[in-house]
Amino acid sequence: MRRQTPKLPLGKKTTTDTESVDFIVARVYDKKRTNIMPPPQPKWKSETAENETQQQPRFTMGYWQMRGLGAAIRMLLHWGKFIHGGAEMNFRDVQYTQDADGVNNWFKRDKVDMIQNANPLANIPYLIDHEEKKTIVQFLCICDHLGRKIGVDEKDENSEQRLRNAQIAMEILDLRNNVIRLVYKFPNSVRTQSEFYERLPEHLGTCKKTYEKLESWLQFHDFTYFAKKDAVSSCDFHAFEMIDQHEHYQTLVRGKDGEDVEKQDMLSEFPRLKKFYAEMKSRPELKAYFESKEYKDFQLNNHTLANSWDGPGPSSKR
């Protein structure tokens, strides 16, 4: 049964003890008028403290109300906040709902504003570094910037760590691109629930080949993590997310007649990958993230807008 996106109160701004979240909700109505009032907009340019009604966060990220590429960015932000403290590394998470209004809020409003005032390459996800007055787009660039700012990546771009980090980041992005072909309705890709079940074993076989390369990488370097022996780098966050997604996908395998089959543990064949996954899951720096709804309840990818399907959501197995 397809899991529905959690419904949020219209126009409500929710603040938790772990992060400040601005929900870009469907519609906010003015009771005295019939026209639709736009919800609060993110600030593309950092303003002075005198003009702020509340403390400006160091970072603002924007993404759809799902995990997708946003998961690794949220993990990096949580890590930085834990290490450096909320006062120095606080962040705001702007989440666009997966419906027509969320699409309009981004494409017809915020993207237009960003193109005019901050970055002509406006895209989603985006990251605003308010301290440096920068608006950054493209997933790998955002991770690279955050990795240096929170201190998990070395600042010397010629360092061996940065080179290893870049290689793994691109390898993991290749794996995600394979996932996109599985879960979104592109030509010659999955278009129905039955096609998903038919293609899933093939996809997991392709994923296993990537796992073999990643396992060999860790073995070759004798590392626990991918770019440093015993310390996290920015590439590790997306690597964890993709392994975590496939821990879910492997539970959805069905027999030819749709019956349940004995589930296999993909990581059992890759002891170093399994250790990496367990180490990331147990990091105290990520405890707040793993307890958040962004991890536990959000859809893995944007199935609502794409009208696609990838089985029950991850919350069903937690």
For 198-216, the pLDDT digits (tens) are 888 999 999 999 999 999 9
pTM across the whole model = 0.81
Cα angle value 305/310/315 (rounded, 5°): 95
> CATH number of the domain that 125 lies in?
3.40.30.10
User: Of 150, 168, 183, at which residue does a domain stop?
Assistant: 150
> CATH number of the domain that 259 lies in?
1.20.1050.10
Helix crossing, 160-183 with 235-249: angle to 10°?
Answer: 30
pLDDT at 99: 86
Q: Quick one: 119 and 48 in the same domain?
A: yes
In a domain, 5, yes or no: no
Say how many domains are in the chain.
2
Domain housing 181: 160-282
Strand-pair partners of 92: 20, 60
Q: Quick one: 49 and 114 in the same domain?
A: yes
pLDDT at 316: 40
pLDDT at 301: 87
> At 151, is the secondary structure helix, strand, or coil?
coil
Residues of the chain with confidence (pLDDT) below 50: 1-53, 315-318
H or E element, residue 166: helix 160-183
